[in-house]
Amino acid sequence: MIRVLTVDDQAVFRDVARALVQMTPGFEVVGESADGESAVELAREVDPDLVIVDERMTGIDGIETARRMSAEEPDAVIVLVSSADVQSLAAEAGASGVAAVLRKHWLTPRLLRGLWIAHRRR
């Protein structure tokens, strides 16, 4: 099973992300967090394979969360999601250990599986 951690300060998106992961064969949610600080701590405990992180959150934002996570969990595939324009985030996010930057509404089970295949642990 591919272990997924979702991070978003909006409960509604965490619910959607959980449902999406549950609909994806071979994937399971191992944790959810409403902010970056607790997500970094939770990642230490649950050792996720894939992390879906919202770009805009209260406290530390998604890019800083990804930076901290990738330093501590270098094998995790980190996907930054946003409801805003993702083009402007790509360069900064890539330098933070992010594998992909996507609009939230683009996420589907098929895309989630494709991201994993393209960026999985070697």
At 60-85, the pLDDT tens digits run 988 899 999 989 888 899 999 987 66
Q: Is residue 72 part of a domain?
A: yes
Please determine, for residue 96, whether its predicted confidence score (pLDDT) is greater than 70: no
| Backbone φ and ψ of 41, nearest 5° | -65, -45
Q: Structurally, how many domains does the chain consist of?
A: 1
CATH classification at residue 79: 3.40.50.2300
At 11-56, the pLDDT tens digits run 999 999 999 999 999 999 999 999 999 999 999 999 999 999 998 8
pLDDT at 48: 96
Domain that holds residue 92: 2-15+22-48+55-110
- Distance, in Å, from the CA atom of 70 to the CA atom of 98, rounded to the nearest integer, reads 8
pLDDT at 24: 95
- Distance, in Å, from the CA atom of 60 to the CA atom of 40, rounded to the nearest integer, reads 11
Average the pLDDT over each of 38-42, 100-104, 109-113 and give the range with the smallest value.
100-104
